[in-house]
Each structure stands twice: as C-alpha cells, then as structure tokens.
Amino acid sequence: MELLNQVTQFVISGLATGSIYALIGLSFAIIFNSTGIINFAQGEFVMLGGVLTIFSLNVLQLPLLAAIIVAVAVTTVIGLVFERLAIRPLKNATPLSLIIITIGASILIRGLVMLLWGKDTQALPAFSGTDPISVAGATLLPQHLWIFGVTVLVIIGCRLFFNHTISGKAMRACSFNPRAANLVGISVGRMVLFSFVISAAVGSLAGVIIAPLTMTAYDVGVMLGLKGFCAAIMGGMGSGLGTVLGGLILGTLESLGAGLISSGYKDAIAFFILLLILFIRPQGLFKKGETERV
C-alpha cells in the first residue's frame, strides 16, 4: 500500500512536470511548422518568464497578476524582435544556419540575464498558498493545480486558434506549403512572425507557472528547453497533440525513474528515452504518415 501511494505521488509530480514539457514542446512545434527550424532559444523564453516575473514583483512592486502579464508581454516582444532581427533578414539561409543562429541567441540571452540579475537562484511565491491537498494517498500542491489548469487552457486556446481563426488557418497553410500559401495572398513572413510571438508567449507562461516549484535562474532554460525538445521529438516533431502526450509521458517516466531508482538519474532517464525513440521510431511515437500540425 505504501508503494502504491509512492507511485501515485510520483505520477502526479510527473504529470505536473510533463505539462511544462508539453507547453515547451508545443512552442517548438509551432515554430518548426512555420519555419522548418528548431528554435534552441526556446528554453530562454521559459527562463525569461520566471525571471521577469520575479523582477516585476520585487523591483517594480507589481501585484502577482500584473507581474505575470508584464513578464509574458516583455518575453513576447523579445521573441518578436528576435524574429525580425535574426531570422527574417536571412531569407535564403539553410535550416542548419538558422538553427545555429537560435543557439547563438540562446547563449546571448542567457549571458545578458546573468549580467543583469546575477547567477543566484530566485524563488517565486506560490500563486495560492502551499497547503498540501491529499489525493488518493498522495500529496498535491495548489501550484500543481495551476500548472494543470493553465496547460489545459493553453492547449484549448491553441486548438481554437489554429482551427477556428483566419490567422491560425493561414499559419497551418504556410506549414504545409509556404509557396502555395503565398500564391493565395497569405503573407508567409507575417505567419512566421506570429509563430515566434506565440511560442515566446507560451514558453514564458510555462516558465512562470513552474517557477514556484523549481525556482529559477539564468541557466534553467537550457535543461527545460532540452526536455521540451524531447517531448516534441517523442510526439513526432510538428504534431500538437503528439507533443502534449510526449511531454506527459516523459515527465511521468522521469518522475517514476527518479523516485524508484535514483534522483541522480533524473536527467539521464529523459535523454535515454530520447535516444531510444530516435533509434526505434525517429518519426515519433504518435506520428502516422501526415501529422496534424498546430
């Protein structure tokens, strides 16, 4: 019975962490579908969400909600500037060149944050207290509920945007055939810009809701970004629903491995799963022919 309670606890913690991986992986998928590149600066958008929220709370003395809005808005603007200054000028660049540029941007953003706010780990207070909630013999923190709720809302919002708005449908058209989309009057460049804006906003929101549980610092985006990339690969790069499932599975397996084997293997488990999938099913666990693109 005690083992069952422990497993339940690990699964709940894993699903919460996996929800964050799912959001980050979704950000990867949105940009990949629009540009064909993998944005390795995505983890820095996650980091910026947490760091800027803490800055707005402690220095600007804003209420929590206003601090979150400011953090997401500033990160979104940074994503927009990144696309305009680093991606758009290189119209004929190869995907490999663009990927290298995103790695460079990641190092630049991380370095600037370290210079501005230092190397110390910073804590963001929980949104609604820290009193634990008992569920089936396991303990659930209120912040876990925030993570689950925000993740579900973001997924529903993305689903509605990409399937029921003109801009969303235009972005999907560009992802399937940019030249044909351009011929019917869709501005491909504007859709690419939208993809960076949405990805930056979703990534920063993920960084905000995970910060009360894991704290944040200038370098947390590296590992979170790689885990989100793992989730995107597991789901089949470019598949929205597959990426979400990949994130949840990755988080759960990682938590179970860390709890039942050793916490020292936590990161190794995630990358072992990634390598295993790349060897066995490089197209992802949930990809069947054409994927449904976000």
d(C-alpha 269, C-alpha 87), whole Å:
33
Question: What percentage of the chain reaches a pLDDT higher than 90?
Answer: 25
What count of Cα atoms within 13 Å lies in the side-chain half-sphere of residue 85?
7
pLDDT in tens, 19-32: 889 989 888 888 88
pLDDT in tens, 220-258: 888 888 888 888 888 877 677 788 888 888 888 888 888
Residue 93: pLDDT above 70?
A: yes
| DSSP three-state, residue 140 | strand
d(C-alpha 182, C-alpha 168), whole Å:
15
Least confident of 88-97, 150-159, 282-291: 282-291
DSSP element (H, E) containing 138: strand 138-140
| Ranges 36-40, 86-90, 106-110, 136-140, most confident | 106-110
DSSP 3-53: HHHHHHHHHHHHHHHHHHHHHHHHHHHHHHHHHS---TTHHHHHHHHHHHH
**Residue 281's pLDDT is what?**
78
Tokens describing residue 8 = 């339940």
Token pair 């699903």 is found at: 15
Residue 286: pLDDT above 80?
A: no
Backbone φ, ψ for residue 293 (5° rounding): -90, 145
Average pLDDT over the chain, rounded to an integer: 85
Amino acid at 211: A
d(C-alpha 27, C-alpha 240), whole Å:
9
**Residue 9's pLDDT is what?**
87
**Residue 32's pLDDT is what?**
84
**Residue 113's pLDDT is what?**
94
d(C-alpha 242, C-alpha 64), whole Å:
33
Confidence of residue 289 (pLDDT cuts 50, 70, 90): low
Tell me, letter by letter, the H, E, C secondary structure of 177-245.
CHHHHHHCCCCHHHHHHHHHHHHHHHHHHHHHHHHHHHCECCCHHHHHHHHHHHHHHHHCCCEHHHHHH
Question: What percentage of the chain reaches a pLDDT higher than 70?
Answer: 96
For residues 292 and 141, the model is more confident at 141
Tokens describing residue 81 = 């500037």
pLDDT in tens, 101-135: 999 999 999 999 999 988 888 888 888 878 888 87
Residue 159: pLDDT above 80?
A: yes
pLDDT in tens, 163-214: 888 888 888 888 778 888 888 888 888 888 888 999 999 999 999 998 888 8
Cα-based angle 5, 277, 14 (whole degrees, multiple of 5): 25
**Residue 152's pLDDT is what?**
92
Confidence of residue 1 (pLDDT cuts 50, 70, 90): low
